[in-house]
Amino acid sequence: MVHGREVVYDRRSLFILDASFSVRKAIVWFIEWKWFDRFITTIILGNSVMLAMTDYNERIYGPSYFSKINSELEYVDNVFTGIFIFECVSKILGMGFVVHA
Residue 4 included in any domain: no
Q: Which domain holds residue 18?
A: 12-95
**5-9, 22-26, 68-72, 73-77: lowest mean pLDDT where?**
5-9
Domain-embedded: residue 74: yes
Quickly state the pLDDT bin for 101 (edges 50, 70, 90).
low
59 within some domain: yes
Residue 92: which H helix or E strand, with range?
Answer: helix 68-95
Tell me the longest C-alpha to C-alpha distance in the chain: 58
Q: Is 101 within the bounds of a domain?
A: no
List the beta bridge partners of residue 18: 12
- Kindly indicate the confidence band of residue 31, based on its pLDDT and cuts at 50, 70 and 90: very high
Cβ(67)–Cβ(58) below 8 Å: yes
The answer to whether residue 3 is domain-embedded is no
pLDDT value of residue 100: 65
Q: What is the pLDDT of residue 11?
A: 85
The answer to whether residue 100 is domain-embedded is no
Do the domain assignments include residue 62?
Answer: yes
* DSSP classification of residue 81: H
Tell me the pLDDT tens digit for each residue of 38-60: 999 999 999 999 999 999 898 88
Enter the pTM of the model: 0.85
**Predicted local confidence at residue 99, as pLDDT:** 67
**73 touches 50 (CB < 8 A):** yes
* Coil vs helix vs strand at 17: strand
Number of domains in the chain: 1
